[in-house]
Amino acid sequence: TTNQSWGGRFSEPVDAFVARFTASVDFDKRLYKHDIQGSIAHATMLAKVGVLSDAEREQIIDGLKQIQAEIEAGEFDWRVDLEDVHMNIEARLTDRIGITGKKLHTGRSRNDQVATDIRLWLREEIDIILGELKRLQSGLLEQADKHAEVIMPGFTHLQTAQPVTFGHHLLAWFEMLARDAERLADCRKRVNRMPLGSAALAGTTYPIDRSVTCELLGFEAVSGNSLDGVSDRDFAIEFCAAAALAMMHLSRFSEELVLWTSSQFNFIDLPDRFCTGSSIMPQKKNPDVPELVRGKSGRVYGHLMGLLTLMKSQPLAYNKDNQEDKEPLFDAVDTLRDSLRAFADMIPAIQPKVEVMREAARRGFSTATDLADYLVRKGLPFRDCHEIVGHAVKHGVDSGKDLADMSLDELRQFSDQIEQDVFEVLTLEGSVNARDHIGGTAPAQVRAAVARGRELLGG
């Protein structure tokens, strides 16, 4: 026998380094609140089915609540020799309330306990993340509404393509985030299943009532197979997959913000509070927040791959490998939540430089497609129009003039179908206003999309 709670069959104490090497308390103590919540539900259920007396249940619950207060006051002595959060709390409970504390673990294993704790914890974190996502989405809607008519160049291949409204561009980001929110809400459904009652792997001989704990803990359903219940970490992988996608989106926004704040683009102003300076170059104002978020996407992709690899080849049921699920999951949650928070704070503060954007949209023959469409309306086949406008652009490149700067005679060299009314379609307003269908860039459509977005977010 050793002094460990599982030491009965051991004839020597665990090696000191092995004890530290196998311990998880340094990081899993983060689960303390959910561990206590799960234990309170378990004790309540055990009393209900007659395995514990009501007095024992009360003693256990009181003890656990005091331990929670101790932890939150920073007075709890976390012991590495007690391995993990579960055994630390259980040992402390027995210190406090004596022999009854030793009854809490009846009909339960750390295997179903830890799987339950992580799910309770992740469910709460997903709700916080969904709140930050929504805050960011609302900020985008406000900005899109305010700047529905601001015109900027739209790009493909990072080359000027066609004019778009700034509001429309912001709403593209909104759409990406709406999919992220949908994915996280869907992932939450599978997080919200309760493995408690699976015990070590095969279930338990006690007359447990899983529906009681399920209801107390607010789970949607109990897991249907005890072997799967203790070993399933799909929900954590799914979360990391959804988080990786969301970080990829934030990284793309970041890249655009970094480009747009450069003096070469100079499209937006990012307030000083989201930037830092240089220790050597006095003129510098660097867009650190977007750069850092772009960089942080890497670790979340890594955690997704880490968890997939962790689970690959694990035989049923619980294996100690699973202890390695926590750090990647915790870090993925922290990284996504903090990145969203930074963006939700920052996006309402960005200011478009309307004149610079407009000037950039005017350059680069951004209304060339509009001219081709104009000729189609005059009865020419589109491919011919494409070629005609191509010649006009070539002339423009050679003479340093944009299409709208050419005279009518100059334009008519390329097609006698071109008439005075061409100049309306060559304006930026003409171009964006003409794309007036659902999903198009016209200011009227931006406003309609903002209204739909507000509805989606619940008013």
Cβ proximity to ligand ARG: between 41 and 114 the closer is 114
Task: Give CA–CA dist 61/88, Å, rounded.
Answer: 16
* Cis previous bond, 200, omega within 30: no
Closer to ligand ARG by Cβ: residue 312 or 320 = 320
Shortest reach from residue 6's CB to ligand ARG, in Å: 8
Cβ 28 to ligand ARG, closest distance in Å?
A: 6
Structure tokens at 155: 């790009």
Nearer to ligand ARG, 110 or 123 (CB): 110
The catalytic residue positions are 157, 278
Contacts (Cβ under 8 Å, ≥6 apart) of 162: 153, 154, 366, 367, 369, 370, 431
| Residues facing 222 on adjacent strands | 194
Rg (C-alpha) for the chain, rounded Å, is 31
CB of 320 to ligand ARG, least distance (A): 6
User: In angstroms, what is the minimal distance from the CB of 352 to ligand ARG?
Assistant: 49
Using the minimum distance from each CB to ligand ARG, give the nearer residue, 162 or 198: 198
Contact at 8 Å (CB) between 108 and 196? yes
**Residues 291/324, Cβ–Cβ less than 8 Å:** no
Q: How far, in Å, CA of 27 to CA of 138, rounded?
A: 34
Alpha-helix runs per DSSP H in 2-151: 16-22, 25-28, 32-48, 54-72, 85-97, 110-146
Tokens of 260: 């747009």
In the bound complex, what is the minimum distance in angstroms from residue 93's beta carbon to ligand ARG?
Answer: 17
Cβ proximity to ligand ARG: between 322 and 431 the closer is 322
Structure tokens at 266: 């100079």
Distance CA 56, CA 264 (A): 71
Minimum CB distance to ligand ARG, residue 108 (Å): 11
Contact 89, 39 (CB under 8 A): yes
Q: In angstroms, what is the minimal distance from the CB of 90 to ligand ARG?
A: 12
We find the least distance from the C-beta atom of residue 153 to ligand ARG, in angstroms, to be 52
Cβ nearer to ligand ARG, comparing 93 with 114:
114
Which residues of the chain form contacts with ligand ARG (CB under 6 A)? 24, 28, 84, 110-111, 114, 320, 322-323
CA–CA distance, 89 with 87 (Å, rounded to integer): 5
Nearer to ligand ARG, 180 or 325 (CB): 325
Counting Cβ atoms within 10 Å, is residue 217 exposed (0-12), middle (13-18) or buried (19+)?
A: buried
Residue (121 or 173) nearer to ligand ARG, CB = 121
* Contacts for 1 with CB less than 8 Å, ≥ 6 apart: 7, 8, 10
Buried b (16+ CB within 10 A) or exposed e, 32-60: bebbbbbbbbbbbbbbbeebbeeebbebb
CA distance 304 to 239: 9
Tokens of 222: 């109990």
Record the tokens describing residue 167, joined without a space: 């509001």
